[in-house]
Amino acid sequence: MPEQNAYKRKKQPEVLRRALLDQAAQITLAQGLSKVTFQAVADAAGVTKGGVMHHFATKQALILELFNDAMATFDAEVTATMAKDPVSHGAFTRAYIEATISLSDKGQDEFDNQATLYVLMLGDQALRELWATWMNEQLQQYDATDNTETLCMVRLVADGIWLSDFSGINISEKQSLRDRLIKMTQQ
């Protein structure tokens, strides 16, 4: 079958935008944030540099959209987990644990999303501020149920376990640690 002329192919802007974000995430994880360029994303997605620029006016706009996309997925996971939790005390913290520690139990796409979120946040001050804003809003929203020193410590330990996992440090007792942290949220 002959290849279709690009001008006659049906345009699917949302599919292309998703592919561009996915490729930018892969580049971020494999090579670092500094290697995310319009040309690198275009090459990875099989489009022209202009095709990338059509969707994202600047590299910072691409990075911000990538972060917002990963953040929305993370937020949706936390929210969905909380909705299934019958106990309000510590529900946000338990959902946060599930979203951060269970990385090796998730599919590859979810792992990449989580890893992308953290790599972006750690690599850019403005994105760290957006992360802090989200976290502070959550803590304010769940002040009555998740504002204790123990629950704060549990969330920080969850972050440390995630960072160890992402860094390739083998924690053989990860499931046991996760279970212990969950138990701490129920006291």
**CATH number attached to the domain at 11-57:** 1.10.10
- What per-residue confidence (pLDDT) applies to 2? 45
77-85 contacts at long range (C-beta below 8 A, 24 or more positions apart): 77/110, 78/138
Number of H helices, E strands in the chain: 10, 0
- Rg of the chain (C-alpha set): 19
Q: Hey, where are the domains in the chain?
A: 11-57, 58-185
- Helix (H) or strand (E) segment spanning residue 45: helix 38-45
pLDDT at 185: 97
Q: Under the phi-then-psi rule, with left for phi > 0, alpha for psi from -120 to 50, and beta for the rest, what region is 32?
A: left
Which tens digits make up the pLDDT trace of 50-88? Answer: 999 999 999 999 999 999 999 999 999 999 999 999 999
Residues 6+ positions from 94 with CB-CB distance below 8 Å = 81, 82, 85, 182, 185
Instruction: Residue 5: count other Cβ atoms within 10 Å of its Cβ.
Output: 7
- Residue 19 pLDDT more than 60? yes
94 versus 99: which is more confidently predicted? 94
CATH level 2 (architecture), domain 58-185: Orthogonal Bundle (1.10)
Q: What is the pTM (predicted TM-score) of this model?
A: 0.83
d(CA 149, CA 127): 26
Q: Quick: pLDDT tens for 25-58.
A: 999 888 888 899 999 999 999 999 999 999 999 9
Calculated CA dihedral for residues 98, 126, 41, 104, nearest 10 degrees? -20
- Rounded to an integer, the average pLDDT of 155-183 is 87
Instruction: Report how far residue 29's alpha carbon sits from residue 33's, in angstroms, rounded to the nearest whole number.
Output: 8
